[in-house]
């Protein structure tokens, strides 16, 4: 759905990113059951909340909410190859959201929508970096 958003449809892009973020959050909670992904999930969780907080500020969403699920609400547990596939799905979402938000920001007429799109573009990248372990502050380093 995210890839099918028309570039000039700023509200549609923000709604699609919001819905994708909710799905990515649920997937991340399921993936966190695999010890290999637990630390990255903790780092990504911080970015998810900031991204949700910024998305609701866009006038194009007209006060729409972003309801991120609580860990207790997720009963799915993914491990092994299923967890790896879940992480790949989150990373693909993040990459796509980054592109869609950048384009929507270029087409936004209202300054507030443009600002939200541009800031959320950076947050989508941070979400991807958190799951990839690329950002220095998101890299797990065992104690020496």
Residues 6 or more apart whose Cβ sits within 8 Å of residue 85: 78
Mean pLDDT of 50-75: 85
Residue in the block written with tokens 């000039």:
8
| Angle 86-88-89 from CA coordinates, rounded to 5° | 65
Mean pLDDT of 45-68: 87
Q: Mind listing the pLDDT tens digit for each residue in 8-55?
A: 899 999 999 999 999 999 999 999 999 999 989 988 999 999 999 999
Neighbours of 2 (CB within 10 A): 18
Q: Is the alpha carbon torsion for 101, 102, 108, 114 positive or negative?
A: positive
Question: What is the pLDDT, as a whole number, of residue 109?
Answer: 92
Question: What is the pLDDT, as a whole number, of residue 64?
Answer: 74
- Contact in structure between 47 and 137 (CB atoms under 8 Å): no
User: Looking only at Cα atoms, what is the longest distance across the chain?
Assistant: 52
Report the CATH number of the 2-138 domain. 1.20.1260
List the domain boundaries for the chain.
2-138
Q: Mind listing the pLDDT tens digit for each residue in 106-143?
A: 999 999 999 999 999 999 999 999 999 886 554 555 45
């Amino acid at each position: 759905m995210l890839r099918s958003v028309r570039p000039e449809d700023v509200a549609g892009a923000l709604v699609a990113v919001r819905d994708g973020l909710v799905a990515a959050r649920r997937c991340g909670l399921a993936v966190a059951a695999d010890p290999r992904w637990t630390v990255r999930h903790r780092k990504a969780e911080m970015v998810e909340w900031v991204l949700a907080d910024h998305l609701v500020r866009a006038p194009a969403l007209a006060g729409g909410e972003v309801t991120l699920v609580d860990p207790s609400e997720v009963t799915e547990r993914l491990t092994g190859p299923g967890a790896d596939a879940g992480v790949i799905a989150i990373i693909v979402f993040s990459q796509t959201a980054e592109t869609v938000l950048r384009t929507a920001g270029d087409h936004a007429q209202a300054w507030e929508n443009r600002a939200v799109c541009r800031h959320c573009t950076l947050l989508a990248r941070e979400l991807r970096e958190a799951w990839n372990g690329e950002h220095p502050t998101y890299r797990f380093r065992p104690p020496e």
